[in-house]
Structure 1
Amino acid sequence: MDLNLRNAIIHNVSGNSQDELRETIVDAIQNGEEKMLPGLGVLFEIIWKNASEDEKEEMLQTLESGLK
């Protein structure tokens, strides 16, 4: 069986409203379950691919600050 995790995650959230996406992200972070990390990674990949260079720079600054 060929399971493409990335496509499955995208399929599960496609068509979700902003509120539903926020709930998904907040729930994954609050639960802190390791199994949720791939989903958050796929969502971040989508954000990154669709961000402008300025938005990417802002995300990197936020990430750097959060890791200090």
Structure 2
Amino acid sequence: MAPYVSEGIAEGLLGYWASTDGSPAEVTGETENLTGHRARTFAARGRGTRGRVPRLTRPPAPAAPPP
């Protein structure tokens, strides 16, 4: 991380991450509050949208400028 942040900030981040490693995240009802639907796992969401999500495609090339 040295090219991106100072040593002190890197040490602080690594220390914080180490102190929370293995601790379960707090579970809240915010997803349901925001969306009106219960939260789902990534796998469940994938099963629920199978066949309904368009494939990502390369955007069309920009049009050539007029001569």
Q: What interval of TM-score do these two structures reach, taking the shorter chain for normalisation?
A: under 0.3
Q: Hey, which of these two has a bigger chunk of helix by percent? A: 1
> Larger Rg: 1 or 2?
2
Q: Using CA pairs below 8 Å that are at least 6 residues apart, which structure has the higher relative contact order? A: 1
